[in-house]
Amino acid sequence: MIKETLANWRSSHLGRLLSESLRKQGWLYGVAMVAMIVVAATTAGTAWMMENIVNAMTTPEMKSQVYLIAAAVVGLFLSKAVASYIQSIFLARAGNRIIAVQQERLYNKLLKRGVGFFAETESSNLLMRVTHGAQAARRLIDVMVTSFVRDALTLVGLIFVMIYQEPVLSILFFFVGPVALLSVRYILKGVRSIMQSEMKALSEIIKVLQETSAGIRVIKVFALEDNMTDRMNGAIRSVEKRANSISRLQSIASPLMELLAGVAIAGVLIISTLDITGGEPTSAGQLMSFITALLMAYEPAKRLSKMRVVIETALVPVGMMFELLDQEDPMVESVNPEKLKSGPGEIRLNNVTFGYQGEQKVIRDMNLTFEAGKTTALVGQSGGGKSTIFGLIMRFYDPDQGKVEIDGQNLVDVSFASLRRKISYVGQDTFLFSTTVMENLRFARPGATDEEVIEAAKAAHADVFISQLPNGYDTQVGENGAFLSGGQKQRLAIARAILRNAEILLLDEATSALDAESEALVKAALDKLTENVTTIVIAHRLSTVLQADTIMVVQDGEVIEQGNLDALIEHNGTFRQLFDQQFKLPGS
């Protein structure tokens, strides 16, 4: 029974967090706990010393001990001050380390998630888990350690002083304690559900801010300011309402404890005037020591009474954090992954069937070969499975059936790093990091020199506009390239692909954001880039793929036609219809 209880505790969020954190930051918490024990001992010692202080001031025969008692008081408070400083420093270091460790774990976990996870999960939800979850973990451990070590030991020490000095009067204190605990237990009932609602409202605030930043042009064009204001105000008012509810519940403990402390002190004063025991009268020093201990017991008792409220509040974001950490990684390397060998770059899809989670199959029993060193174009209506083929080649997903091979090696057996080094990609939705032009280009090959980066930019015909930027290659591009046009961003993406110099090149509408002049320039750069490189191009504008070695028409997860331009035109099938739609003049 005890083992089962212990196992359940360890598996709980609270038990798991404590066991992991104390194991990793044990020495920091150990030093802080020793300092807390000293703080607790000196606090109880302060109440104990009140008897000697009062007696030395009121008893003539103890006048000679005044200096000794004064020195003891200074030593006591000095010890408490030093211990309090050490406690704060080491507790802060341990707490900051916990935040850093948890945020590192969460971010590493996010990087291992599949591409589909980010499509299905709102970024505001992830921000809540990474930031609030880690902060709540630190807050939870801090309150547990300080409550169970410093506050509990301080309270025990002060109760000992009270019982030693006035055993009869201490009985009243033991009546007050249970009443306070029962009151706090009643307070706890609504805290967790309120906190869960507050976390959802906070996530909504973050989401509205992100949508405002990313979609400000749409908001302005469609005059959605009032709509967005209403959404934000609603979320803010929801957080405010729930925060007020939690504050109200947390605040009840303090006045409740103050009232009970006042009743206890009043009772002590009344009872102290009565000769209840009929024994030797209590000295002024003893009574003062007892009252001091009783008054000093108020603060640790109050913190202990509020501890459960803080724990319940922090457990919600901590639970969200562990929920993310405990999710299984959809894409994992094999136990002993192979390195993808250097080769010509032939890609094969063998009997591949694939469907996104909860959806019907996007690709059905597909067999394809992308010849090494050749350019293959994928054309067809949207939703046919072209981008999914790219995702399978880059191993964003694994096929439900069949296998994807590069030069005869199954991608499931190779390491992610060796696979990704072999591939360069340019998509229609170009992403740029919020840093300089130079750094954005260098992400393709971190070891590249400035000269190599500039040569790649020239090859992509990006050097002309980069040179005109305020600080050239050192110009900040803004969040996702906010300071650049769509065509400029796409030319930078092509420059990255050129700098990458990989054996396989994947182009997904790579020239869709370019004007006619820029497209002609970039097409010339791509013609040079694709020489002797296995290139797969997705394009809806057929003008960009007419020179491809092979053109494949993908429809409903199947390749329904393939061949070179002349063969497909002569076949007079689906490709011919697409060709005529884009190139045949009206009336011809």
Q: Which amino acid is at 100?
A: A
Q: Beta partners for 479? A: none
**Cα atoms found within 13 Å of the Cα of residue 526, Cβ hemisphere only:** 30
User: What distance lies between CA 551 and its chain's CA centroid?
Assistant: 43
Any idea what the Cα angle at residue 234 is, between residues 228 and 235, rounded to 5°? 95
Place of tokens 């202080």: 53
pLDDT of residue 566: 86
Asked if 465 and 494 touch (Cβ cutoff 8 Å), the reply is no
pLDDT of residue 6: 43
Which architecture characterizes domain 10-325 according to CATH? Up-down Bundle (1.20)
- Which numeric CATH code is attached to 347-583? 3.40.50.300
pLDDT of residue 200: 67
Q: Where are the domains of the chain?
A: 10-325, 347-583
Residues 312, 314, 320, 324: what is their CA dihedral angle, to the nearest 10 degrees? -130
pLDDT in tens, the chain (588 residues): 444 444 444 447 778 888 888 788 888 888 999 999 999 999 888 888 888 877 777 777 666 777 888 888 889 889 989 999 999 899 889 888 888 888 888 888 888 887 777 777 777 778 878 888 888 888 888 888 888 888 889 988 988 888 888 777 777 666 655 665 565 555 555 555 665 666 666 677 777 776 776 677 667 766 777 877 888 788 778 777 777 776 666 666 566 666 666 666 666 666 656 655 555 556 777 777 887 887 788 778 777 877 777 787 788 888 888 888 888 877 778 888 889 888 888 999 999 998 887 677 888 888 999 999 898 999 888 888 888 898 899 888 889 899 999 999 999 999 988 888 888 888 877 888 888 999 999 988 888 899 999 999 988 888 989 999 999 999 998 887 888 887 788 888 888 888 888 889 998 887 766 677 767 777 777 777 777 889 999 887 787 788 888 989 888 888 888 888 888 888 888 888 888 887 764 544
pLDDT of residue 221: 62
Q: First and final CA of the chain: distance in angstroms? A: 87
Any idea what the Cα angle at residue 141 is, between residues 136 and 147, rounded to 5°? 125
Which tokens belong to 251?
């605040």
pLDDT of residue 2: 42
Domains 10-325 and 347-583 alike in fold: no
Strand (E) or helix (H) holding 369 = strand 363-370
Phi, psi of 410 (to 5 degrees): -70, 130
Place of tokens 């694994």: 398
Separation CA 464–CA 556 (nearest Å): 42
pLDDT of residue 5: 44
Does residue 359 come out as left (phi exceeding 0), alpha (psi in the -120 to 50 range) or beta?
Answer: beta
User: What distance lies between CA 523 and its chain's CA centroid?
Assistant: 41
Residue of 416, 426, 422, 569 lying closest to 509 (CA atoms): 426
Place of tokens 């002797």: 532
pLDDT of residue 436: 92
Separation CA 8–CA 43 (nearest Å): 36
Helix (H, G, I), strand (E, B) or coil at 339: coil
Helix (H, G, I), strand (E, B) or coil at 469: coil
Judging by DSSP bridges, how do beta strands 534-538 and 375-379 pair with one another? Answer: parallel
Count of residues in the chain: 588
Separation CA 117–CA 115 (nearest Å): 5
pLDDT of residue 437: 93
